[in-house]
Amino acid sequence: MKRMILALLIVLLTLSCTACGSRNPPPGEPSVSDGTAEPNVPENPPEDEDGLSQPEKIPLDGQTVSYNQFPIPEAAAYGLTGEEARLYEAAVSLFNRESCPEYFTSDEHLSLILPGVVLYGQYEAEDGGTAYVVGFERCFIYDLGSGLEDISSPAYTSDCLGGLALLTLDENGILTAFDEYGDGEDESAVYRICGPLTELAEEALQPGGVQEEGKTRIPDAGDVEGLLLPYLNYYFEN
């Protein structure tokens, strides 16, 4: 009986020592059992006032930024939401370094294309989506990559083009069609773009075109600097 009790005590003592020899580390503390540490979990990206995640800013320390390092503009860079965001994203999808690489490969000075639209009117498209008649603007930014010593006062040159266009979006905000008044087209192209908005077409054909006062500008920038500075402040930091 004494031998049985002694054997039982030895077993209990062995189990007790084994339990004392290891422990589970508290959350976030490196494990010592295998000599490796848990990977650091990155902090959540900052959020803007609307609760949308912002991308990590690209630090600048005097280096030249090539055209393919400039992020493709997002609606969030200008605080756009809802219908305005969908229209802006549609415009960007048509003219950027990925959808139009030939613009950049044929001109080594071109750094960035910043599009914008002025909403003239809208109507229901034949496919059930919404057709937006807009003034479509494209601002070509040159030599920006070497002019970012101070992003609040960048050095660059620019050239902006604009014209009457039609953007058709489906119910999910996806661009399904694009039509633009081209050089050499007659007035029938204006009526084609404006569709049932006959008065708008007639205004567009008048000297000076559509009067933009009171129209919705997306983004509401005003000029090239107004387009560029919010973009730079959203994606870069000195």
Residue given tokens 């007035």 in the structure block: 187
Residues near 33 by beta carbon (within 8 Å), at least 6 away in sequence: 22
184 — pLDDT class (breaks 50, 70, 90)? confident
Q: For residue 211, which amino acid is it?
A: Q
Contact 168, 129 (CB under 8 A): yes
pLDDT (tens digit, 9 = 90+) per residue, 12-62? 555 555 445 444 444 444 444 444 333 333 345 555 555 556 789 999 988
Closest by Cα among 120, 137, 127, 135 to 198: 120
pLDDT over threshold 60, residue 219 = yes
How far is residue 149 from each of residues 146, 220, 226, measured CA to CA in Å?
8, 26, 19
pLDDT (tens digit, 9 = 90+) per residue, 78-94? 999 999 999 999 999 99
Neighbours of 236 (CB within 10 A): 17
Q: Could you tell me the residue ranges of all domains in the chain?
A: 65-237
Q: pTM for the full model? A: 0.75
